[in-house]
Structure 1
Amino acid sequence: MAALGERIRSVRKRRGLTQQGLADLAGVSASLIRKLERDARRDVRLETLRKIAVALKVPTTSLIAQHDAEPAHDKTLDLWAPVRRALYGLDGPVSEAPTREGLGSALGASMPLWKQDRYSQIAAMLPVMLRDADALVETDLSARHVRGRLLHLVGWLMTQTRQFDEAEFALSRAMDDMNDPLDAAATVSTHCWLLLRQGRLDEARQMAMRWADDVEPRISRATPHQLSAWGWLLLRSSAAAIRDNRPDEADDTIRLARTAAVAMGRDLTPNEDFLRTFGPITVAMKRVENAMIEDRPDKVLQLSQTIPVTDLRPTSNNRNRHLLDVAEAHRRMQRHSEAFDVLQGIRRDAPEWMTNQRYARDILRGIIGRRRTLTDEMRELADFVLLDY
């Protein structure tokens, strides 16, 4: 299959565009187009590729065989090395036989750490929990559900920290342990998010819609658990579609997700599982995300005014991802001070989460890139988010 640069160049010529003409239509620099066509840039954001696809009037996936997702930072890899060993079963046997009750209690007691993005503390306890879960299942198959739940969380966290191979491995193992279709659907939703972060848009869209069709409930009798599973799969499909330059499909699926949210009434967390929190606010934040992907900063700021982010936990991943969109919208509207203040707020509320966000680094780079001098606060934040020089 042709490389990215060759595909962009081929389609550009078929459209009768010069490199400068394509750059003007896509709202990017001609220098970027030249580098992409020479395959001299491999770290381009998926959202930038979407702009080029829109200008060329093709799906994003027609330009990319597989987007080269940015890997985890070396500091991140060092932190999670013991967890990766335990996940792959490379550690020795446990010294004391675990029990299902003990593992379940340990997992339950750890949930505040997951909800509050306490990555360092989670990394310290996970190796033991993973070893105990594997040892327990060898003697008690009824513990597979607990191990599946743990592996789902590990897959989510590996996706969050950009350790994509380990995320795929953990989520595949989690699916093997699932015996409830709604638990499986929640795991699939996380898998779709992993595919999105890797730029595997068509896979994510098809997987989400296939499972959404399978778990679609009868709205009049649906439980919050059912509505959450269905709604999240629809949101994943919409996210993939909008990134793949399929706006009509993205609108249709997010409209269906809003139907599920309205039936939910308000944002709820089925089974106290923070990964399944779903409702009208969640869907509203995803509408903002889609608007940002469509390069509509004015719409982002307009929609965001109706979202009560102060009612959400400061450590909520969806809340903080939404605030990054707000910061980027301010930046694109040349409101750099407001954008920087939003980033500082996210750092205050979710510091360990923020250091794993390439989006945050890109926003900050855009804020400080053309300044002659930086304030002390800007330099400090650049160091904090590991922004390259």
Structure 2
Amino acid sequence: MSDVNTQNTLAARVRTLRKRCGLSQTGLAEQAGVSASLISKIEQGIIPETTMATAHKLARALRTNTSELFASSLREAESETLIDHVWKPVEQALNGTLPPVNEDPSLDDIQRRLRALKPLLAENRYREVALELPGLIRDVEALDDVRTPRSRLLNVAGWMFVQTHQYALAEMTLKQAVDAAEDRLDAAAAVVTLGWMQLRHGRLTEARELSVKWADAIEPRFSRATTAELALWGRLLIRISGAAVRDNRPGEAEDAIQLARAAAVRIGREIQADSSTHNTFGPATVQMIVAENASIGDKYDKVLTVAERIPKKLLHVNGSGRNRHRLDIANALLATKRPTEATAVMHDIYRTSPEWLLKQRYARRIMDGIVYRRRSLTPEMRALSEALTITG
């Protein structure tokens, strides 16, 4: 059990702020939309940490910032499962411990192989990416060419580490990607991924401040900006908005999303946001983030209204961004008492992107909610629940 006698513990912070707000444990539970027993267990130190979703609800009810209330107690994205052995060679390549090959690598070959990763990323074929990365990393490190695409390759590796919950490796790799960048756009692309890692790891202040710093550094002049400059600036603004809304800073989140919308309107369509990952940016991407922010604020009707306006055909129909949006739709359907429709959305994601879905704790929480609300489960619900439980 945690030491509840110091003001640095989650238990003490929640109890102190609750009393300042004049709330009982039951009153806080009602305002936050959680159980009174959860509040009791947190204040007793029985539950020393919580999820990002619960953290945001409690911070909002206590009228404080999520990061200030929970500090290091967030566990939204801490690794809970053993890392698949397929990623070990990638780590070895980054450490320079893979055996060398006899042939000298060529820049053209490396660039071709790097381009070939993009459809694999877009289709969430992570194991195939993992098999390609070690040789690519080894070869790019051995390349005797000043035009090396090292930063872009490291950004891909870092992106994959985030996606598979390997956060220490992700942070190390992405910082190397920033340092290795030949221009500010490649550096900004790596910062976008690094900010995503910090966001998923509950480091909201770091994610927001890093993204603000780089958004200010690369802010384009609309009259002569390239689409690449606008897209990366827009992705950074999305990071700012995501960190701010989770940190109970709705004004900052809205300001950032309005600027991102302006950049998206200027571009006028969905485009590839950088030269390494499969991130996209455009009007539809901004709308998906608007829906995500609404979901975090429990505005489920808005999630569904926004979702209806987003085109079904996007640059990457089954990419991770689109799939994350579909989870927001499933969650909103569940919250509005439509578990059958929520299951249908979940099943469709599982059909097209099983490798991605089974990595998502958000998906497991939604499925747990479906199971809890149903007296009996359909075969489809049982299959999804079993698949997500096994991987959890």
TM-score (norm 1): 0.94
Tell me the equivalent position of 2:99: 92
Tell me the equivalent position of 2:262: 259
* Cα distance change of structure 1 residues 160 and 104 upon mapping to structure 2, 3 Å threshold: same
- Report matched runs for 1:138-287 at 5 Å: 140-144=144-148, 146-269=149-272, 275-287=278-290
Tell me the equivalent position of 1:297: 300
What SS is found at the alignment partner of 1:220? coil
Note the residue ranges of structure 2 that are not aligned, 5 or more in a row. 1-6
Single out whichever of 81-90 and 50-59 deviates more from structure 2.
Answer: 81-90
Q: Deviations over 1:38-69 (max 9, x none)?
A: 33335632121111011101111111222234
Single out whichever of 374-383 and 14-23 deviates more from structure 2.
Answer: 374-383
Tell me the equivalent position of 1:322: 325
Matches of 1:39 and 1:306, distance apart in 2: 44
Single out whichever of 204-213 and 309-318 deviates more from structure 2.
Answer: 309-318
Q: Deviations over 1:319-350 (max 9, x none)?
A: 11111100000011111011110001111111
2:16 is the alignment partner of 1:10: yes
Q: Deviations over 1:107-155 (max 9, x none)?
A: 122322122111111112211112222222xxx25144x1111100111
**Kept after mapping to 2: 8 A contact 1:158/1:166:** yes
Letter of the 1:221 partner, please give it.
R
Matches of 2:132 and 2:9, distance apart in 1: 42
* Cα distance change of structure 1 residues 384 and 151 upon mapping to structure 2, 3 Å threshold: same
Tell me the equivalent position of 1:135: 142
Matches of 1:93 and 1:224, distance apart in 2: 39
Single out whichever of 91-100 and 288-297 deviates more from structure 2.
Answer: 91-100
Q: Deviations over 1:18-45 (max 9, x none)?
A: 1111101101111111222233335632
* Cα distance change of structure 1 residues 271 and 9 upon mapping to structure 2, 3 Å threshold: closer
**Kept after mapping to 1: 8 A contact 2:10/2:49:** no
**Kept after mapping to 2: 8 A contact 1:43/1:70:** no
Matches of 1:263 and 1:217, distance apart in 2: 12
Tell me the equivalent position of 2:3: none
2:117 is the alignment partner of 1:119: no
Matches of 2:35 and 2:369, distance apart in 1: 14
Matches of 1:343 and 1:385, distance apart in 2: 11
Tell me the equivalent position of 2:389: 386
Q: Deviations over 1:209-249 (max 9, x none)?
A: 11111111111211100100111111100111100001011
Tell me the equivalent position of 2:4: none
Q: Deviations over 1:290-327 (max 9, x none)?
A: 00011100111111111113345332111111111000
What SS is found at the alignment partner of 1:151? helix
Question: Which of 323, 331, 335 pairs up with 1:332?
Answer: 335
Single out whichever of 15-24 and 101-110 deviates more from structure 2.
Answer: 101-110
Shift of 1:78: 2.6
Letter of the 2:110 partner, please give it.
L
**Kept after mapping to 2: 8 A contact 1:217/1:227:** yes
Matches of 1:228 and 1:156, distance apart in 2: 18
Shift of 1:94: 3.4
Question: Which of 17, 25, 29 pairs up with 1:19?
Answer: 25
Matches of 2:315 and 2:265, distance apart in 1: 18
* Cα distance change of structure 1 residues 388 and 34 upon mapping to structure 2, 3 Å threshold: farther
Matches of 1:111 and 1:235, distance apart in 2: 22
What SS is found at the alignment partner of 2:281? coil
Matches of 1:42 and 1:314, distance apart in 2: 39
Shift of 1:106: 1.6
* Cα distance change of structure 1 residues 34 and 96 upon mapping to structure 2, 3 Å threshold: farther
Single out whichever of 120-129 and 31-40 deviates more from structure 2.
Answer: 31-40
Tell me the equivalent position of 1:30: 36
TM-score (norm 2): 0.93
Letter of the 1:197 partner, please give it.
R
Tell me the equivalent position of 1:47: 53
**Kept after mapping to 2: 8 A contact 1:5/1:39:** yes
Single out whichever of 234-243 and 176-185 deviates more from structure 2.
Answer: 176-185
What SS is found at the alignment partner of 1:65? helix
**Kept after mapping to 1: 8 A contact 2:178/2:188:** no
Matches of 1:35 and 1:189, distance apart in 2: 37
Q: How many residues get paired?
A: 385
Tell me the equivalent position of 2:66: 60
Q: Deviations over 1:179-235 (max 9, x none)?
A: 211111111111111110001101111111111111111112111001001111111
What SS is found at the alignment partner of 2:71? coil
**Kept after mapping to 2: 8 A contact 1:148/1:174:** yes
Shift of 1:356: 1.0
**Kept after mapping to 2: 8 A contact 1:229/1:276:** no
Matches of 1:185 and 1:316, distance apart in 2: 21
**Kept after mapping to 2: 8 A contact 1:234/1:253:** yes
